[in-house]
């Protein structure tokens, strides 16, 4: 009997996507991150897809290498049913599409280039232009 492939846990997928996003922001390859961790790039790939869960000590090691606090990997994570923040308020997750966009090479390149534009009015005009293009395409 062949065992059914288990779907990755949503939190593991989110943490993996954040590892990928940060690694790409630094221009680091999976191989380079794997070398720094003493792992193969295939293992890093499994972490980034959420197929393999990242243990606490390994996540701390990854955070150090990628120069972010461990909490970075949980920003915008899906809410766990029955869990509330200490203040009793449920945390609103950041839209997943933003992380998905930033995890692509195009999204990262566009964001980096956009952030180098110093003129706020020009940035606003670019946003208006893109929104107009989308509006025209939806008609």
For residue 96, what pLDDT is reported? 62
For residue 93, what pLDDT is reported? 47
**Out of 27-41, 42-56, 87-101, which region has the weakest mean confidence (pLDDT)?**
87-101
Query: Would you say residue 82 lies in a domain?
Result: no
Query: Would you say residue 24 lies in a domain?
Result: yes
**Are residues 16 and 2 located together in one domain of the fold?**
yes
Q: What is the pLDDT of residues 58-69, one digit of tens each?
A: 999 999 999 999
- Would the pTM count as exceeding 0.85? no
The contacts found for 96-104 with CB under 8 angstroms, 24 or more apart, are 99/14, 99/17, 99/18, 99/21, 100/17, 102/21, 102/24, 102/25, 103/17, 103/20, 103/21, 103/24
Query: Would you say residue 134 lies in a domain?
Result: yes
Q: What is the pLDDT of residues 53-103, one digit of tens each?
A: 999 999 999 999 999 999 989 887 877 665 555 554 444 445 566 767 777
């Amino acid at each position: 009997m062949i065992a059914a492939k288990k779907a990755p846990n949503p939190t593991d997928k989110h943490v993996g996507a954040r590892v990928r996003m940060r690694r790409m922001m630094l221009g680091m390859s999976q191989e380079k991150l794997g070398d720094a961790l003493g792992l193969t790039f295939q293992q890093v790939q499994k972490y980034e897809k959420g197929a393999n869960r990242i243990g606490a000590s390994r996540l701390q090691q990854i955070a150090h290498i990628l120069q972010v606090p461990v909490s970075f990997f949980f920003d915008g994570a899906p809410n766990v049913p029955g869990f509330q923040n200490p203040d009793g308020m449920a945390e609103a997750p950041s839209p997943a599409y933003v992380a998905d966009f930033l995890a692509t090479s195009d999204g990262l390149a566009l964001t980096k280039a956009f952030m180098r534009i110093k003129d706020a009015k020009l940035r606003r005009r670019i946003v208006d232009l893109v929104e107009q293009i989308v509006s025209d395409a939806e008609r």
